[in-house]
A and B are shown apart, each in its own frame.
Chain A
Amino acid sequence: MSLTRRGLLAGGGAMAAALTAGVADARILPSAMEPLIGPGYKPTDRDELGMWQQMARVEEEVAGSNLLINDLALNHYLQGLIGKVGGPAAKDMRIYLARIPEFNAVMFPTGFAVIFSGLLLRMRNEAQLAGVIAHESGHFLRKHQIRQWRDMRTKSDVFAMLAMGAGVAGGAAGIATGNMVQLAQLGTLLSLFQYNRTLEAEADATGIRQLAQAGYSPMAMSETWDQLIREQDASARYRRKKRDRGYSLFATHPAPESRMADLRLSASEVTLPGRAYDDGRARYLSAIGAIRPMLLDDQVKLNDPGASQYIVETLAIDGWNGLLRYYEAEVWRLRNRKGDDARAALGYAAAIGYPDAPPDAWRWHGVMLQKAGRMAEAKAAYARYLAMAPNAPDAPFIRQLLR
């Protein structure tokens, strides 16, 4: 048998193509996404047993982390949501809420999820949050982590054998096979990322199916993506940059735009005509009420005024209140561009017009009045601040001012 270098290279290309083929980035139909596990699922395969054993230790770490928000009622509420959209595994999944001001949530292979506090900040209602939780549940219901591990194992096995085989064959035929092996390696890598994107799309499709079954508006999921895209645009615009589109052959997640488009199509598929869908906004707001000031505060202090302003405005679509007005003013004050001090002063003045204005709104309103030389009004505002927050760290200082 005679082998040529060109022939081998073509072979490598074919090998790369063979590894990537069969996993196109097409929309996955919710109707095809039957859960792969039942209630009380426990692994029996050797590789999955090993993975679960390792994860038990990870969960122990997560459960004992000091990043967790230990609001009992709120944790109970989140657990209840996973119970609604978790399908057959509703009773098996656990949920942990971590104080991390980012838009994210993670599902681990043994059925526990970590929700970032930044997610709770951004969600406008229960349906949106349930959509994200349903997506994460989808990873567990469709056994994504072990499937991905197996995919990686198979592909790396095949690659290692083919590379070694090619090397030996090339050696026997007196041809250097380095180029071809590199090409095959690229093919293997690309197919790994693509498999990951396919699983994300599966989780979207599974999630939207669970969401609709639980009686939430299935449009909530695409709304969430729409918000995320706009937020990233706003954040980038402030920094005079373009949003990182994040979509490439090496991306682990599909592009937000394509996810949003797919989710819209899927939503229309799973919506039953005549059925009333709930968004659970009142329930959601009362559940996160106690930590909402903290969520807003964490976001505003990220020094990302573009995103912060977008988030405040998005939440305000459902109605302005004292808390949102106060943080809108905070974004301006901390941004500190030309004219922002005047903007912030107006913002604090607007915030105190609402019955739910936080004590700090009165404090900053006072500071702004004092700066403008309106000391009498400033003192009145400070007095109100002290009445609301008598134990504030700066209370003695403010009292001194009032003398």
Chain B
Amino acid sequence: MRRGSIALAGAALTLSACVQTKQYADVQFAPPQGNYKLLVMRPDVSVGSVTTGGMVEPRADWTEAARANVIAALRAQQAGRGGNALILERRDGLPGVDATTVAELERLHYAVGSEIALHKYSGAYLPTKRGKGLEWTLGEDAVALGRKTGMDYALFLHAEDTFASTGRVALQVLGIAGCAVGFCAPNIGGGGQFAYASLVDLRTGEVVWFNVLQAGSPVAGIKMGDIRTTDGAAVMVERLLGRMKPGKAVARALKARQ
């Protein structure tokens, strides 16, 4: 339901590729460096198993493990860039800000994020936003949160990972075996990663950077990452946030200086 529209954006990134990211930035965006303060909004992580028939069965234990791993990986990664990250694990975890305010900002971001997914990733491109990089904002609410907390940026993160069950893998084996007799189903799919991250500048309220990650194999049973493990979570966070590109105007200015 909630992740439907943004998940579609992931699907739009072509199914055949193994690991893909596609990022957009505000034309004036310069990746945060130095002593910035980052507020990470409650990361939305879910992990499930793909049944033989192709349904995703959510797994509580895997989800718990993955959420802890992703948070740890985020913390390590941000420390590596020199930033101070405050990672919200619950809506009421922000001193001086009530859970309702956090919830409302989460919902607002969800609505804006869905628009970005639709108009930047799913093909419904807007002529008025052409060549303008990323031009969306959370407005005054985000600025107010920044003023209240003294934070520079807010990061919204969603990650899901699924793994083919034994039955699904068996089905895949049968599909490949069938190739020998002329009934070929070599890639029934099942399992894979989908994640997105969105960076909001709390001084202006604007969404300054957005990235979607899709990692998976069309062959059920072949993993392209595993956020249930600490290493896998670190890889996912690095793929998603590691290579933040500056916006067009900033990149041009950098080039001119060289």
Q: Which residues of A contact B (CB under 8 A)?
A: 46-47, 49-54, 60, 64, 152-153, 155-161, 164-165, 167-168, 170-172, 174
Contact = CB atoms under 8 A, between A and B. Distances in A.
B204 interface: no
B178 A171 contact: yes
B46 to A, nearest CB: 7
A156 B51 contact: yes
A177 to B, nearest CB: 8
A161 B165 CA distance: 13
Interface size bracket, B side: 20 to 34
Contacts of A152: 55
Contacts of A172: 181, 183
B76 interface: no
A84 B103 CA distance: 33
A50 B174 contact: no
B83 interface: no
A156 B53 contact: yes
Contacts of A54: 46, 58
A159 B57 contact: no
B185 interface: yes
B23 interface: no
Contact of B99 (A64, A155, A165): A64
Contacts, number: 73
B175 interface: yes
22 contacts: A46-B61, A49-B61, A50-B63, A53-B64, A54-B58, A60-B91, A64-B103, A153-B53, A155-B53, A156-B51, A156-B55, A157-B53, A158-B53, A159-B53, A160-B53, A160-B54, A164-B175, A168-B174, A168-B181, A168-B183, A170-B183, A171-B183
Interface in B39-93: 46, 48, 51-55, 57-61, 63-64, 91
Given A153-B51, A157-B53, A157-B167, A53 B175 contact: no
Contact of B171 (A46, A160, A174): A160
Nearest to A160: B53
Given A64-B100, A170-B183, 18 more contacts: A46-B61, A49-B59, A49-B61, A50-B57, A50-B58, A53-B63, A54-B58, A60-B91, A64-B99, A157-B52, A158-B53, A160-B54, A161-B52, A161-B171, A164-B175, A171-B178, A171-B181, A171-B182
Nearest to A155: B53
Contact of B58 (A51, A64, A156, A174): A51
Nearest to B170: A161
Contacts of B48: 50
Nearest to A168: B178
A167 B52 CA distance: 16
B53 A49 contact: no
B60 to A, nearest CB: 4
Contact of A167 (B51, B57, B178): B178
A46 B52 contact: no
Contacts of A164: 171, 174-175, 178, 185, 188
B12 interface: no
Interface of B: 46, 48, 51-55, 57-61, 63-64, 91, 99-100, 103, 167, 171, 174-175, 177-178, 181-183, 185, 188
A145 to B, nearest CB: 13
A52 B177 CA distance: 38
Contacts of A60: 91
Contacts of A167: 178, 183, 185
A282 to B, nearest CB: 36
Contacts of B61: 46, 49
B58 A53 contact: yes
Contacts of B188: 164
Contacts of A64: 99-100, 103
Nearest to B2: A61
Contacts of A160: 52-54, 171
B72 to A, nearest CB: 20
A128 B55 CA distance: 38
A164 B174 CA distance: 7
A155 B174 CA distance: 19
A46 B48 CA distance: 11
The 7 closest A-B pairs by CB, nearest first: A156-B53, A171-B183, A50-B58, A157-B52, A168-B178, A171-B181, A53-B60
B49 to A, nearest CB: 8
A50 B59 contact: yes
Given A64-B100, A64-B103, A157-B52, A47 B177 contact: no
A158 B174 CA distance: 14
Nearest to A172: B181
A172 B91 CA distance: 57
Contacts of B178: 164, 167-168, 171
Nearest to B62: A50
Contacts of A158: 53
Contacts of A47: 57
Given A64-B103, A164-B185, A52 B60 contact: yes
Contacts of A51: 58
B177 A168 contact: yes
A164 B99 CA distance: 49
Contacts of A157: 51-53, 167
B141 to A, nearest CB: 14
Nearest to B51: A153
A157 B57 CA distance: 13
Contacts of B185: 164, 167
Nearest to A174: B182
B60 A49 contact: yes
A159 B167 CA distance: 12
B218 to A, nearest CB: 16
